[in-house]
Structure 1
Amino acid sequence: MEQKKLITLAYQAFSEFKKPEHSTDYQCCRECNEYDQLLKNVDRKNLTIEQIGTVCWGPVAVLLPEAMAYYMPRFIELALMNVDNKDKDPYITQFINQIGHTPTSKAFSLFTSKHISIVAETYKYINENYRKIVEDLCWDEDLDDAIKGWVANPIKH
């Protein structure tokens, strides 16, 4: 699938999700509160790679299901565009790591088969267009597992 078409489909598919009041369990800990404040006034289209952070620091790992669904099209867009993250590493590897190998996590509990298929198509696009980058950074097995896990669509909502 063409990059621009997939990005458009992602925004359309996830448009049903509105920005939640809180993106994290902000009362959980200081870090979750910090991430919640970071995202408080950020809409999905304006979310920056700096706000997403890195594999080691950033809100993605602690997003509530509502926030994950709301921000997912932006994560997809940045992965498909092959931007670098805050550490100047390819965001595609961070996407592989943070979105994971299957949609079974609680973070994806609001996803329907439509949403799952968009993420699967994103992983396929990464494989077809950025495989060499992924291999050079030793994320190829993780990418293969993600493709299998998301394409298999092991959950039904």
Structure 2
Amino acid sequence: MNWIQHAKRLFQMPKPAHFTNYRHCCECAEHDATLMAYDVDSIGIQQLGHPSWDPLCFTSAAGLLYYMPALIRLTLETMDKPQEKYIEQLLFHLIGDGKDHDLMHACSPEQRACIAGFLEYVIETYSDAFDGCTIADDLLMAYEIWSVE
């Protein structure tokens, strides 16, 4: 399966007018400007690859839904790049507060199934890369959260 194309189909939506509460502070305004300057196809690891400066931490569930195909793309593009792996940040956003968080509620059943299927694919395809890593626990936790009916 082409996970990127599948996600683009399921998560296709108009770009939000804003991604953050951009009037809140300079940091929110900067993160909003970053997310507004790119789209699903153009945003990259340079914009989203820093856990301590991740604009998606400040966005709404709608913003995460809009960028979900990009998050899947970045995860796949960086799986073989130990210094750039995006999977940890993806998992952070997917785990949120557990089974009862805004992103989970914003997704349709088909979108939730897509995310669960993608996580299952990552587990099956890259399991050797996670042996002995704490990320394996997060991956299984995210899969459990998103596999709910």
**Structure 2 residue aligned with 1:8:** 5
Note the 1:77-116 alignment, pairs <5 A: 77-83=73-79, 88-100=83-95, 102=98, 104-116=100-112
Note the 1:137-148 alignment, pairs <5 A: 137-148=133-144
CA distance in 2, matches of 1:134, 1:94: 15
CA distance in 1, matches of 2:100, 2:14: 22
CA distance in 2, matches of 1:108, 1:82: 24
CA distance in 2, matches of 1:28, 1:18: 24
Structure 2 vs 1, CA of residues 36 and 92 (structure 1 numbering), >3 Å: closer, same or farther? Answer: same
Note the 1:44-59 alignment, pairs <5 A: 44-59=40-55
Per-residue CA shift, 1:19-59, capped at 9, x if unaligned? 01101111222211110011222111111111113222111
**Structure 2 residue aligned with 1:132:** 128
Name the SS for the 1:104 alignment partner: coil
TM-score (norm 2): 0.87
CA distance in 1, matches of 2:139, 2:93: 12
Unaligned runs of 5+ in 2: none
The residue type paired with residue 9 of structure 2 is Q
CA distance in 1, matches of 2:87, 2:35: 21
Preserved CA contact (<8 Å) 1:52 1:58: yes
The residue type paired with residue 95 of structure 1 is L
Unaligned runs of 5+ in 1: none
Per-residue CA shift, 1:56-80, capped at 9, x if unaligned? 2111111112211111111012213
The residue type paired with residue 83 of structure 2 is K
CA apart distance, 1:142: 1.0
The residue type paired with residue 96 of structure 1 is L
TM-score (norm 1): 0.83
CA distance in 1, matches of 2:16, 2:33: 12
Structure 2 vs 1, CA of residues 135 and 61 (structure 1 numbering), >3 Å: closer, same or farther? Answer: farther
Of all paired residues, the percent bearing the same amino acid is 26
The residue type paired with residue 112 of structure 1 is S
Preserved CA contact (<8 Å) 1:20 1:66: yes
